[in-house]
A and B are shown apart, each in its own frame.
Chain A
């Protein structure tokens, strides 16, 4: 079974600063995906960024980027030029790729990091 660990329950930074959220995972699979989901106070789960394990290049989406270290099983999220609207819970999640065999699979989530952006 896969496990996902987020060691920072809460972080607080000033607006416009850069912040990095940590995530480590454990798996014996070779083909998989890693995700960061954002959950604002509305409770909606919003996909922030996705990383395919077979890709060496780190994924980026505007102000969001990841540092994917496959050998170390580490997957951190960097938010640049943080904004007040970035205040939310952030969840790291793991999913086996269907290329591993079988059909779709569920997500395994970490416990989350509560990020607060201070004005």
Chain B
């Protein structure tokens, strides 16, 4: 089975440009999570969706960040305008999102997108 797919794997852009990160969750999974990893702050949850609906976006750093999930198989994380401090690895993860066996609550991660804003 295909795991979580993220694109692009690497992105280099200039300050002020719009950046769009993409994620395809594991088929059948109902919950999708966006995390950011930096040296200073470690791994932190940005936002998560259940059944395509945003549930908690309290981790989104500021209004320059937005996330959408138009259908069960696709999500985007957009940064507009980008700044050098947004440089990080952005991970997408998914799970079945149901109260059930432990394996259905476990999150599985994509390979990440390494973003560098110059």
- Among the listed stretches A13-21, A67-75, A80-88, A99-107, which one makes contact with chain B, having 4 or more residues with CB under 8 Å of it? A99-107
User: Complex formed: what's the CA distance from A79 to B35 in Å?
Assistant: 27
Picked from A33, A42, A110, the residue with its CB within 8 Å of the CB of B105 is A33
Main secondary structure of the interface of B (DSSP, over half): strand
Picked from A50, A103, A111, the residue with its CB within 8 Å of the CB of B55 is A103
Picked from A37, A45, A107, the residue with its CB within 8 Å of the CB of B45 is A107
User: Complex formed: what's the CA distance from A106 to B59 in Å?
Assistant: 10
Inter-subunit contact A103/B45 (CB<8 Å): no
Is B75 an interface position by the 8 A CB rule? no
Least CB distance from A12 to B in Å reads 20
Interface residues on A, range: 20 to 34
Is B70 an interface position by the 8 A CB rule? no
User: Complex formed: what's the CA distance from A110 to B100 in Å?
Assistant: 25
Inter-subunit contact A43/B114 (CB<8 Å): yes
Contact (A109, B50) CB under 8 Å given A44-B112, A104-B105: no
B contact residues around A98 at 8 Å (CB): 97-100, 105
User: Complex formed: what's the CA distance from A107 to B31 in Å?
Assistant: 13
A-contacting residues of B (Cβ < 8 Å)? 30-31, 33, 35, 42-45, 48, 50, 55-56, 59, 89, 91, 93, 95, 97-100, 102, 105-109, 111-112, 114
Pick 10 A–B contacts, CB within 8 A, sort by A.
A43-B89, A43-B114, A47-B108, A97-B105, A103-B97, A104-B55, A104-B105, A107-B43, A107-B93, A109-B43
